[in-house]
Structure 1
């Protein structure tokens, strides 16, 4: 990949002048949650994200000759603390990574004013797919509505859903309610009964009431939209109540290796849709081992590195790094602005060839973005727990976005109207 003249000059200057130029940095803070009820799932993700940026710093001298400052601001997954982190970091940040649908919803209106792109990889408010309306927000490579659609597609492949009953076990939180519009749309169209079963934040580890309802209702399938301690609690209860694990499926945040290892063989057959997949043989993993792990620059461990969530963290930072590189090359500057990064995020083109160039073969499906498409809709694989680890249980599934494009457009328009005056990108033509 050829770099522009200015990028090459920036890298050379960095070598010659050292500290003077090294004072420059790409400040990409991350709203981490290594503490609190979601820490068990947050830690491997944060480790993967941080390690990828450390790799770029150690191996490549940063991105475009400028080092990355991937400082973490601890939120404990608290919306209030997340907003505090946003206010604390926004002055220097070129991106905001909220790490919670609740925090994303609070930061969304602020991003228009501050003109800082929100990168919510695989989470956040699903209508953010409409880049014309949500010009500063991105939920690449796939959104929750994509996930819900692909889960229903997968279930349909197993047989008609007409007359079936599907329990929707979900965290009683903005995140847990996100897929409801798409699940309700499919229930009406395909003739199945959707049974929402909320799990309160204080009930995550004791779901006896919810599983009593599931035993009583005897659904054909359970779709779990869980996070943190809720997932381990649900999986444990499912095993205890002898629910057939092959009929239980989760969103990508409900496919954490450590949760399934609690039940081991008893969890065999449990499935989770996922837009990432760990590949221990990928060249990037070898570089990480040499430049980051062996050098003592990581908080991870050998077991965690094999898991889905650590690999997903790597993918998330790779996507951000790719957007930064895009912006640097387009604007012919290494020290990009938040506004320039927005362009970079709107012009991602991660082909299989490019993913291979980055040494991350098979770790994420190809996808691209545009000014109107801020999600990418990458597709995902259905993963299945084999008693010891997650394995692929399907070919790549792709969401039928056309089937709910009207829902995206109307929901985005409703949000803009409810939050008027809401600036939109009038220069962006819908694709």
Structure 2
């Protein structure tokens, strides 16, 4: 960082702190980071620890360092309840001051996406959203690091096949998914993989009104007798599915979910009966890390966190994943600060920062987060990074890392990404494409 940051003097007006929107500050005094949060509704149990984590990382930087390179980070939440209409209202409400938007729903992301080329505000959809957003040439303002849903589906298939997808030939895989854009997102890849590798894919949707009562879905699973169940669930759906699986005695070692289906709170409902359940994950909790000790010192022990300490939220997968999401965003902001020699990057400068992230093992260690996040880097053409993931397994009390780092089969995925990105651009013509983006 250049010399101007070394002599930066913080304004007393910045004492507002994290989470308070407050009046509009003077340019360069703060960086406004809105989050389209959901602490209410059927997804609150999973949304709350994630938002707590995102909030606490920003709070820690403000408390420990006075912000980022002498500039306060102004975190603000607008409650959506995971509702797409409310999400769009929040987007419109916050976009005037926002350096970034974080939609926190695949449905909201898909609605914001066409606006990105007009409003020119980067979309950060960490580990969610439309998988072809990886193609930075087509989706110039959208980022979904460190791994996409299609990456996740590929890694799950690798895991259940023992690394040899040919072994899935003749097998049956049930795809239990939320009947929502999020749940349908991996279907194009799974259908293509089923056709290529000769397994039968049985999609089983769960409606928003069925999340807590999935008796019909699990009756179908008992009837189909699949070799594996892959779950693309969220919120109350996960708890409902885990409970039904235990009730019907479905083998937990044949049940594996996406990273949003690996929530400690859901598994604690069944305890030992859930042993063997797995989820793919691009983050791993490490409460002894340097970062977590700073979070504890400057935020939790200082009484400035909203976490539920009695329920072990500090040690949970989702709380610490929320921290990693803010870490990725802040890294993009810092890259933009350094490159453009500015205190408070504008959205276009942050766009450049987000496509020049390099969170390798050395940088993660420097941030005190070694082992907590898959190493990855982004570029003009690669807005995801495709860092891979680990398998987490429930041991009856907590999730533990149960695999080496897995990598998605990019040779299988990339052609489909390019095809679907082009389809999207053609369907929304005229759609600007960055022809200068070569790498």
Q: 2:134 aligns with which of 118, 129, 137?
A: 129
The structural deviation recorded for 1:18 is 3.7
Q: Does 1:30 align with 2:35?
A: yes
RMSD (Å), alpha carbons? 1.2
Residue 296 of structure 1: aligned partner: 303
Which SS does the other structure have where 1:265 is aligned? helix
Q: What CA deviation, in whole Å up to 9, does each residue of 1:5-36 have, x standing for no partner?
A: 22223x2x32xx54489752100100100000
Aligned to 2:156: 151
Which whole-Å deviations, capped at 9, do the CAs of 1:46-82 have from their partners, x for residues lacking one? 0000000000100011112110111000000000000
TM-score using structure 1 length:
0.97
Contact 1:7/1:329 (<8 A) preserved: no
How far 1:158 sits from its partner (Å)?
Answer: 6.9
Structure 1 match to 2:285: 278
1:50 aligns with 2:59: no
Unaligned runs of 5+ in 1: none
CA shift for structure 1 position 392: 1.1
Answer yes or no: is the 8 Å Cα contact 1:7–1:328 preserved in 2: no
User: Deviation per CA, 1:365-412, whole angstroms, max 9, x where unpaired?
Assistant: 110000100001011001110111111111000111121211000100
Q: Which runs of structure 2 are paired with 1:260-275 in the superposition (5 Å)?
A: 260-275=267-282
Other-structure match for 1:414: 423
Aligned match of 1:204: 211
Pairing 1:387–2:396 present: yes
TM-score by length of 2: 0.95
Aligned with 1:233 (options 234, 240, 246): 240
Q: Which residue of 1 aligns with 2:22?
A: none
Q: Secondary structure in 1 aligned to 2:78?
A: coil
Matched, 1:327 2:325: no
For residue 287 of structure 1, the aligned residue among 294, 304, 311 is 294
2:323 is matched with: 314
- CA distance in 1 between counterparts of 2:194 and 2:14 reads 61
Give 2:254's aligned residue: 247
- SS of 1:412's equivalent in the other structure is helix
Aligned to 1:87: 92
Indicate yes or no: 2:421 matched with 1:423.
Answer: no
* Residue 310 of structure 1: how far off its partner (Å): 0.4
Query: Deviations 1:333-389 (Å, cap 9, x if unpaired)?
Result: 111100000000000000101000000111001100001000010110011101111
Aligned-partner Cα distance in 2 for 1:393–1:286: 24
Aligned partner of residue 28 in structure 1, secondary structure: strand
Corresponding pairs, count: 424
Q: Deviation at 1:325?
A: 0.3
User: Would the alpha carbon gap of residues 424 and 380 (structure 1) be closer, same or farther in structure 2, given more than 3 Å must change?
Assistant: same
Which position in structure 1 is the counterpart of 2:358? 349
Q: CA deviation at 1:219?
A: 0.3
* Residue in 2 that maps onto 1:258: 265
Helix, strand or coil at the partner of 2:393: strand
Instruction: Name the structure 1 match of 2:122.
Output: 117
Which residue matches 2:6? 8
Q: What is the CA–CA distance in structure 2 between the aligned matches of 1:290 and 1:382, rounded to whole Å? A: 30
In 2, Cα distance between the equivalents of 1:223 and 1:108? 28
Structure 1 SS opposite 2:413: helix
**Structure 1 CA distance, aligned partners of 2:169 and 2:64?**
54
Query: Distance in 2 between the 1:292 and 1:410 partners?
Result: 45
Q: Please give the alpha-carbon distance, in whole angstroms, between the structure 2 residues aligned to 1:26 and 1:20.
A: 11
1:400 is aligned to 409
CA–CA separation in structure 1 for the residues paired with 2:352 and 2:2:
17
Q: Could you tell me how far apart the structure 1 residues matched to 2:194 and 2:266 are?
A: 29
| Deviates further, 17-26 or 333-342 | 17-26
